[in-house]
Structure 1
Amino acid sequence: MNATVTSPTVNTQVASNNSIKANAIKASFPVRRMDFEFNQVPEYWMNGSAGLTHFMTALSALFPDGEKFFVDSTRAVRNDPKLADPYMQKEISAFIGQEAMHSKEHVGFNQSANFYGHDVKGLEKKTNTVIQTFRKGFLKVAKPFGITQEMIDLTATTALEHFTATIASQLLRNEEIQIKMTDETMYRLWMWHAVEENEHKAVVYDVFETLYGRGPKAYVLRNTALVVAMAALFCTQSYFVYSLLKNDNKLNAKELGSIFKYGYSLKHGIITGMIPELVDYFRPGFHPNDHDTNALLARWKEKLGFNTH
């Protein structure tokens, strides 16, 4: 009886070749380290408007703990055998890297807002409280149906990533909002962040579908997560805006009017502009890449000097 014997040297060479091939695979987007300096950012950097500045600051207060939650939720599942594909792993790593940089830069800006006496640090803590309350409360309701904490966290991340990619694309398209960002540092911060949210908008969704598929259970879970996440996000961000305005003695018709005009009006509103794309999430067979932002990103990467990738 003849047997084929493979030498240890051959096995080592095969393993080495596989490793080289895996290392040659790159993610479809890079991790950029920006290192913004916020020392010279004025208090009301949105064209002198307290209302618009606080609206954006309220969003920024959500990001450090929110994006940490995204990273933790994705890391918790990345070693699942279903996600072993090297390209998928590279995409996950790049997603985590980008989100970590976003969190870092928004922490820096939030600290600069604290310098002016706005308690953004306190709002960041409230963000974490909201996240933990909802994720644990959701588990109590969903656990009898075989839903785990990992599933809840990843599904919430999938829904919130759709929100961030959608508001980001609106920022990149809404010239009236861009014009109001009269401070160059903050303009570049938000446009950089918006570009990267669209670069990685499909990563967590692809992770979710790879793990849980497109069946009825996955469909109901992701749609429920979007409804709950949007309600929590709207209430939390609105409360943050109210708190910042009230503590700044700027809670008046003028500032609220500017927020309504550029946030919620039909003609100018960045939030109302998001509605069609947000609602499309409920469509069976939806995928983030159904909304093609490649040309939009190409224009902005050239404008911001991101031409190396």
Structure 2
Amino acid sequence: MNTSTPLMVRKLLVDLSQGLPRHWLAGKPFRSQYFNALSMSFPVGEQEFIDAVRAAAATLPADADHIALQATIEDFVGQEATHRRIHDLYNEQLEKQGLVNHWQHWVRNQIELGRRRNVPALSRLAVTAAFEHCTAVLADITLHHPEILQGADPMLAMLWRWHAVEETEHKAVAFDLYRTLGGSHGRRVRWYMYAMWRFTTMATGQTINNLRHDRMLFNAATWLDAASFFFGRYGLFWLTVGPIFRYIKRDFHPWQHDNRELATAWLKANADHYSVVRGPTEA
């Protein structure tokens, strides 16, 4: 299944230079620092996604059958590049608050290790497809359950939902490229398990590090909120466990869960908060 369609590259109209509230998500340290940790991973991680997709796409045959996929890949690159830039600005504000971004160094070390070991382009693409599925699941939850960001600083709620929209739009690009290049189910699942392990350990480590610098690590209310965030009524664990494990099915495809209407609805409701860089005209 090849689902290549044109994507729109947008610029989010927010000003991060004025600084961010320390506990911007409903005044809750754990939730704020968990999302901050995710932001810390994006500039380096999304650059690697761009590099991995481009490296694999270079092996596509230059024929009419692959023109649409090649065009969508360039749109994917454009969207990821805008995410990388805005999260760089976000992370600069976190540094001013005294937080230390270790996640970026962990990712760089893994990338460098992969290069030293000559990890094949198709395996790098499999890792990218795995992380893209993880971010797509989180994006779907963010759009489908607005209560996840209830009480958030309006600017940051806007940023995270915009990011979720574009992750939804391009969630199948790396996957489709992997399948087009003949990537196997076994390789896809093996690298997926690796990616989920790395994501879990790095997200946990960076969140704990953020809370330590925030002097909220040993606060009982922090961990009560963490329990609620993951295991409460709209707990992240309950909302993600099913979609996360669907990826290992042999016949899985990201658009088996078609949630484009969530992205479309958000874009229509928030058209004043972004400008179009390039791409097709939105309906």
Scaled by the length of structure 1, what TM-score is found? 0.81
Residue in structure 2 matched with residue 110 of structure 1 by the alignment: 91
Shift of 1:204: 0.7
What pairs with 1:139-288 in structure 2 (closer than 5 Å)? Answer: 148-181=119-152, 183-213=153-183, 218-251=184-217, 252-262=219-229, 264-265=230-231, 267-288=233-254
Scaled by the length of structure 2, what TM-score is found? 0.88
Structure 1 residue runs of 5 or longer lacking an equivalent are 1-25, 141-147
Residue in structure 2 matched with residue 8 of structure 1 by the alignment: none
Equivalent residue of 1:212, what SS?
coil
Spell out structure 1 runs of 4+ moving beyond 4 A: none
- Call closer, same or farther: CA 1:101–1:113 in 2, change over 3 Å: same
- Call closer, same or farther: CA 1:255–1:266 in 2, change over 3 Å: closer
Q: Which of 272, 281, 295 pairs up with 2:261?
A: 295
How far apart in 1 are the matches of 2:105 and 2:262? 34
Structure 1 letter corresponding to 2:259: T
How far apart in 2 are the matches of 1:234 and 1:131? 17
How far apart in 2 are the matches of 1:66 and 1:228? 15
Shift of 1:81: 3.4
Structure 2 letter corresponding to 1:110: N
Residue in structure 1 matched with residue 8 of structure 2 by the alignment: 30
How far apart in 1 are the matches of 2:78 and 2:173? 12
Equivalent residue of 2:10, what SS?
coil
**8 A contact 1:59–1:237 mirrored in 2:** yes
Equivalent residue of 1:77, what SS?
helix
Residue in structure 1 matched with residue 109 of structure 2 by the alignment: 129
Structure 1 letter corresponding to 2:174: V
Structure 2 residue runs of 5 or longer lacking an equivalent are none
Structure 2 letter corresponding to 1:235: T
Which structure is larger by alpha-carbon Rg, 1 or 2?
1
Paired-residue identity, %: 28
Query: What is the RMSD of the two structures over their aligned residues, measured on CA atoms?
Result: 2.0
How far apart in 2 are the matches of 1:175 and 1:201? 20
Larger RCO (CA under 8 A, 6+ residues apart):
2
Structure 1 letter corresponding to 2:264: A
How far apart in 2 are the matches of 1:91 and 1:57? 29
Equivalent residue of 2:157, what SS?
helix
- Call closer, same or farther: CA 1:41–1:77 in 2, change over 3 Å: same
